[in-house]
Every structure is written in C-alpha cells, then in structure tokens.
Structure 1
Amino acid sequence: MEIDGQPLWVAPSIYVDSKEQGIISLGHRCVLSEHVMLLTHDFSLDRYSEKMGIAPSDMEYETKGKIRIGDYAFIGIRSIIMPGVTIGDGAIVGAGSVVTKSVGDGMVVAGNPARELGTVESAWERNQAQWQLKRRRP
C-alpha cells in the first residue's frame, strides 16, 4: 500500500486482497471505515475459461487494477471498492456501497452498484443544520 500523505483513519478491520506493492494508494486525511474491502483482483471468469477449455487447469485468468483513495475522501462502513477504481479527492462513499466505477472529486455515491447522488457541497448545504461541531476523537 502507498500512503500519499497521512490518512485520518484506517479501521483495523479493513480487508485488502493484495500484498502487491503500490496497487493501493491512500490519500491525505482520508477515512476508511470499519469492514471496508479493497479488491484489486478478480478471478471470476477463470471458472468459465477452464470449463470451456480456454485455459488449462494449471493456469488461471485474472484481472487486476490499482485502487486510489483521494485526499479527504470518506469510505463508509462495509463498502466494497472494486479493482481499478479511483475515489476522487473529497468524495464520499455511502455505507454498504459497491463501487464499480471511479468517483469524481467532491462527489457523493451510494448503493449497489454505487451511483452518484450529487456533490459533497450540495449534501453539506442540505444537511449542515443536522450536524454538531465537537472536538475530534483521539
């Protein structure tokens, strides 16, 4: 994993499916909540290729892709980030989302599959009155 800055919080329960150096990049002040999964590999079509005789049984097909979590991005609890996805700077991924496509800077996404709900700025404008300012937890 590459750390590009100083993440604010990376929960101890995150799951990373790769030990390959540099395939995951975490930005400055980003947050990865509890039970987030970062999936950098996919072997799903390998079963088809073997069944159809496309690949010998001692070989396997895989695809892999780098994951980048941008500066100040927030990944909600139990979200899954798929191979090749970039979460843009300041973006928010809602709890339980399955992110199959890259998320632009400052965007909010949620769902399975995740879809755009709007910008972080518009979410702040709609919801800011519900939030209370307090000292950050240690």
Structure 2
Amino acid sequence: MSSLAHKIKVAPRVISHEFVVYIKWLLFKIAKNWVILNRISARLRPWLWKKTGVQINGKVCIGYDVYYDVTNAKLLRIDEGAWITSRCLLLCHRRDMSGYRVGDDVNKLPYIKAEVHICKGVHLGMGSIVMPGVTIGEGAIIGAGSVVTKDIPAWTIAVGNPCRVIKEIKQRDDSSGTEKD
C-alpha cells in the first residue's frame, strides 16, 4: 500500500467548523438563485435562516433576495413581528479601517464582528442596508434604501444614508382611538 493510501485510510475524519460554515454558505449561494427558493413563502424563509444559525424569535416575514452574513449568522437576532422587505442586506462584520494606510493591502485588514438586533415589529424598507453593531428599536420603520449605521430608537421613522430619525411615532390612546402627546 502506498504511503498516500495509508494516510487516507488511517487519518481521522475530522471536519473543521470553518468547513461546515463554508458548506452552509456555498449551499445558500447556490440555493438562493433557485426559482424554487424565491417561490417559498416569506413566512417560511425564517425556518431556512434558523438552520444557518440566525436567532429568530416568533413569526417574522422575510422578503425576496434578502442577504445576510451567513458566516456570522449567530450574531443576527430578529424578534417577533419584524418585516424585512425585498433586497435588504444585513451585515454582522466589516473591515477595521482604523489602521489602513497608503500602500496597505485592504484585503489583509482584520474584520470587526458585532451583533445586529432587529426588535419586535420593525419594518425594514426595500433595499435597506443594516451595518454591524446596530439595534433597531421596537416598532421602528426604516425607509427604502436607507443605510443604518447607528442604533435607531423605538417607535421612530428613520430614512437616508446615513439613516436619521425624521419622526417619532405617537402612541394611540386605546380608549378613544386618539393620539397621545
């Protein structure tokens, strides 16, 4: 028996965590373009996301072509009643540009990883981008195409690049149906 055949036969079968993450990412990249995946109900997509490690609490709705950081899926938390509309991008990592200088290779810069938390009842408008380390407060509405770089308070409407709060949502008086100040 040759030495290579012997090594293959006696080598332990250990699969690294990185390999498993890569396979999940590869399957997602391939499967996301399948027509069948786009036909899956927006209410069933969270089940697929949970399989890759995303923390989903309760029923949420995820639109078509929503991208998220598959390699850091455990850093993404989505609470009950959240609506993530089509073509949104949820990132849990970014390059650390603090040490970047002229002549440096940007590909060798380290990554900064941080949790993204989308709270209960949040609505992300189409094409929004959520950067790492952001918490979007309960009931907040993010306008289409916004780039969320900082925390957004609960019950506000925020739009733009960078995303800024433009309006606070008033509470309704339950007994009369009028707004409270």
The TM-score, its normalising length taken from structure 1, stands at 0.75
Gaps (5+ residues) in structure 2? Answer: 1-53, 172-181
Alignment: residue pair count: 118
What corresponds to 2:116 in structure 1? 67
Bigger strand share = 1
Amino-acid identity (%): 30
Q: Among residues 8, 11, 18, which one is paired with 2:70 in the alignment?
A: 18
Q: Which has the higher contact order (CA 8 A, sep 6+)?
A: 1
Contact 1:32/1:74, CA 8 A, preserved across alignment: yes
Moved over 4 A (4+): none
State the 1:21 CA deviation.
4.3
> How far, CA to CA, are the matches of 2:121 and 2:138 in structure 1?
6
In the alignment, which residue of structure 1 is the partner of 2:97? 45
Question: Could you say which residue in structure 2 is the equivalent of 1:116?
Answer: 165
Query: Quick check: which has more Rg, 1 or 2?
Result: 2
How far is 1:60 from its partner? 3.8
| 1:3 pairs with one of 49, 56, 60 | 56
Report the RMSD for the aligned CA atoms in angstroms.
Answer: 2.5
CA distance in 2, matches of 1:49, 1:41: 21
The aligned counterpart of 2:38 is none
Given that 2:92 and 2:113 are in contact with CA atoms closer than 8 Å, whether structure 1 keeps it comes out as yes
- Which secondary structure does the structure 1 equivalent of 2:70 belong to? coil
- What 5-or-longer segments of structure 1 have no aligned partner? 123-138
Shift of 1:118: 1.3
Distance 1:36 1:116 in 2: 19
**Counterpart AA for 1:6:** K
- Name the CA distance, whole Å, in 2 between partners of 1:82 and 1:61: 16
Task: Give the alignment's TM-score, normalised by structure 2.
Answer: 0.58
Give the AA of the match of 1:4.
N
Tell me how far apart the structure 2 counterparts of residues 83 and 39 of structure 1 sit (CA, whole Å). Answer: 5
Give the Cα–Cα distance (whole angstroms) in 1 for the partners of residues 128 and 118 of structure 2: 13
